[in-house]
Amino acid sequence: MNRRIFSQVLGACFAAGLLTAGPAVFAADEAPDVLIKRTSTEVLDTIKADKGIQSGDTRKIIALVDAKIMPHVNFTRMTAATVGRNWRQATPEQQKRLQEEFKILLVRTYSGALSQVKDETINVKPLRAAPADTEVVVRTEVIGRSEPIQLDYRMEKAAGGWKIYDLNVLGVWMVETYRTQFAQEISAKGVDGLIAALAQRNKSNAGAQKS
């Protein structure tokens, strides 16, 4: 498959919460690089073993997201950073809608490519962080049949363990990429306009996948 797409798929799985969570008490004690290695391997194993996910069953993917994984991702922080300064002006209901539509966008955007996962593996690079650090970058490579692909994670230490709040595919941070797109939409039509645009995009993506 296209290795860039695979990296984006795996990254989006993390970003949207597609991680097969282990016991919370265990995860809370894990170092961030150990967590990434374990969950990356579990994600790959889950995709390879699940025919529904391989076929791009979005409902199944979303159900897995909601049932097992959000504890590993600070999705509120991720969405807030993506929306930027306008997040603080948004009402609680608008913030809730933004998170919902953004998560669906990530899942639907990449679910169609999940069937392409074959024999890729993850190499986690040595962690460059002090024991007292509460924010780190875990750097990994996607290993396959051609050149390794960079896939890095920004993580924060929280009460329930380390959580992901941004990811980098081939030198491009996801939050920054979407922030530019979202800022343009908000500038033109406000926060409600962004929500409507995301909802419409998700509806279009859903229709395309059904067809």
* Distance of alpha carbon 142 from the chain centroid: 16
The residue length of the chain stands at 211
Q: What is the pTM of this model?
A: 0.79
CB atoms within 10 A of CB 199: 15
What is the pLDDT, as a whole number, of residue 22? 42
Range of the domain at 187: 3-210
Query: Cβ(178)–Cβ(78) under 8 Å?
Result: no
Q: Which two tokens mark 129?
A: 């962080």
**Structural domain count of the chain:** 1
In the block, tokens 């509806």 appear at 203
Instruction: Show the CA angle centred on residue 184, arms to residues 179 and 186, nearest 5°.
Output: 90
Measure the CA–CA gap between 149 and 171, rounded to whole angstroms.
Answer: 10
Name the residue among 37, 34, 61, 59 with its Cα closest to residue 47: 61
What is the pLDDT, as a whole number, of residue 20? 39
Residue 129 pairs with which residues in a beta bridge? none
What is the pLDDT, as a whole number, of residue 163? 93
Residues in the chain predicted with pLDDT less than 70, given as ranges, are 1-28, 61-71, 109-118, 208-211
Measure the CA–CA gap between 94 and 191, rounded to whole angstroms.
Answer: 7
Name the residue among 85, 122, 79 with its Cα closest to residue 103: 79
Measure the CA–CA gap between 155 and 167, rounded to whole angstroms.
Answer: 9
What is the pLDDT, as a whole number, of residue 15? 57
What is the pLDDT, as a whole number, of residue 110? 59
What is the pLDDT, as a whole number, of residue 149? 79
Q: What CATH number corresponds to the domain at position 169? A: 3.10.450.710
Strand order in the sheet with 135-143: 121-124, 135-143, 149-158, 161-169, 172-173
- Beta strands in the chain, from DSSP E residues, in sequence order: 121-124, 135-143, 149-158, 161-169, 172-173
Measure the CA–CA gap between 19 and 36, rounded to whole angstroms.
Answer: 10
pLDDT in tens, 133-169: 999 999 998 887 777 878 899 999 988 899 999 988 8
Q: Which two tokens mark 170?
A: 């081939």
Measure the CA–CA gap between 38 and 35, rounded to whole angstroms.
Answer: 5
What is the pLDDT, as a whole number, of residue 1? 47
